[in-house]
Structure 1
Amino acid sequence: MHGNQQPQQYGYAPSHPHTVIVQKRGGGCLRAVLIGAAVLAVLVVAGTLLGRGGGTSTGSGGTTTAQATDTSDQADKPVETDKPVEAEKPGIGDTVKDGKFSFKVTKVETGVKRVGGEYVGSDAQGQYVLVHITVKNIGDEAQLFSDSSQKLIDVKNREYDTDSGAAALNLKNSNAFLNTINPGNTVRGILLFDVPTSFKSKAVELHDSPFSDGVEVSLR
């Protein structure tokens, strides 16, 4: 070598073994710590999400099972209705009873304008409704049957009285006016009602006396 001539470089610097080793170890540990922290954070988040999912089932399987259970519970419950089912009321041709009498409505005539003959008769204010009935005494003693105890009912539940005077004068074949019936006997009568032309019948209410509860026969 000459005087101040520098030593020739061969492509590497003087090494410091201890310093290099410390830097490599320190960097590896830091990365390991960071990676470990990241993995731990992911596990914590995943565990939280799984925990929430277990608390409130949102899977289709869980929902389907709950619905099936609810349907089964509802199937076991009796069906409730707001209104009780009413028994069908007796109608024309049916035999009904009230007190000592049994009744049967055999026919109903509507729209009759006049009853009686050409010279002696009665004209309806609106129209006459004629309810043909048979009455039987099913009691143990005589009972008076009166047409004035019977009621005609329209679709608005309004009650109409018989026209007893017109019936007594003009319905010669009727025994419905103040007729005493002995036990076991049957009579035929016609109940005569004077009602408006717009009248729509619902039922006739039949009584063995003015004080009995009566029984309804549907005319519809």
Structure 2
Amino acid sequence: MTYPQNPATPSGWVPPTPMPALAKKRKWPWIVGGLVGLMLIGCVGAVTSGGADTAEPADGSQAAMTAEGPAAVAPKKTEKAKDDTPGLNQPAADGDFQFTVTGVKCGVSRVGTSLLGQAAQGQFCLISVQVKNIGKEAQTFLDSAQKAYDAKKVEYSVDSSAAIYANGDQQILFAEINPGNTVKGKLVFDVPDGTKLTSLDLHDSPFSGGIRVSLK
């Protein structure tokens, strides 16, 4: 028995082939895999960028950058160099003479006696000193070769004429000292009132290098 054709179906029409269910299912793994891959690339880039920012450059520029920041560490203070300048009652040698300064007295207006002496232009500073010959030959001590200084490095010379009165019988002026012997006396400096002597330059001769002694 022959049935009539469906009038709503055009002649020669072929229905489309339905998409297999397996093909539909395979789309989701690719999509998910792509998203995971993008996330991994982003994480690797962030880690690499952070490591580059925190790594310390080999040339030490990181230290310079840190020093400019608010948490910069203050540089370590260097220790003050030790002062080896000898002071009172400490032997100090120059050439063949060893000097020991034993006392300082300033503010003296006159040396000698009321009948025979000398008045200061300003004030006399009397420096008590011992001079020992540590050489192998006799040598003459000259007080005129000795210099004094104040805190401003102003230089003062010995007043040899006043030293004659200040020393009395203890003469060290032009004294010839044999090897091993020691003489004692006073160096006299006429300085302005209020001046405080801070150091001496002592010499075994006018042409020696000298040795600095602190009076502080």
Q: TM-score, normalised by structure 1?
A: 0.69
Moved more, 129-138 or 153-162: 153-162
Native 8 Å contact 1:152 1:205 kept in 2: yes
Segment of structure 1 superposing worse, 173-182 or 144-153:
173-182
Q: Secondary structure at the match of 1:176?
A: coil
Q: Which residue of structure 1 lines up, in the alignment, with residue 170 of structure 2?
A: 174
Q: Given the alignment of the two structures, is residue 95 of structure 1 paired with residue 61 of structure 2, yes or no?
A: no
Distance 1:170 1:106 in 2: 16
Aligned-pair distance for 1:201?
2.2
Distance 1:43 1:196 in 2: 92
Unaligned runs of 5+ in 1: 1-17, 64-69, 71-78
Backbone CA RMSD of aligned residues: 3.5
Count how many residue pairs are aligned between Structure 1 and Structure 2.
185
1:44 and 1:127, CA in 2 relative to 1: closer, same or farther beyond 3 A? same
Distance 1:59 1:158 in 2: 59
Runs of 5+ unmatched residues, structure 2: 1-14, 57-62, 64-75
Q: Is the 8 A contact 1:117 1:170 kept in 2?
A: no
The reply on whether 1:156 has 2:152 as its aligned counterpart is yes
Distance 2:205 2:179 in 1: 15
Greater helix share, structure number: 1
> Given the alignment, which residue of 2, 26, 38 partners 1:44?
38
Tell me the amino acid that sits aligned with residue 87 of structure 2.
G
Q: What amino acid does structure 1 have at the position aligned with 2:160? A: S
% identical aligned pairs = 39
Q: Is the 8 A contact 2:166 2:188 kept in 1?
A: no
CA distance in 1, matches of 2:137, 2:119: 38
Match of 2:118 in 1: 122
Question: Which shows bigger deviation, 173-182 or 51-60?
Answer: 51-60
Query: What SS does the corresponding residue of 2:42 show, helix, strand or coil?
Result: helix
Cα distance between partner residues in 1 of 2:18 and 2:199: 114
Q: Does the C-alpha gap of structure 1 residues 170 and 201 become closer, same or farther in structure 2, counting only changes over 3 Å?
A: closer
**1:188: Cα distance to partner?**
0.7
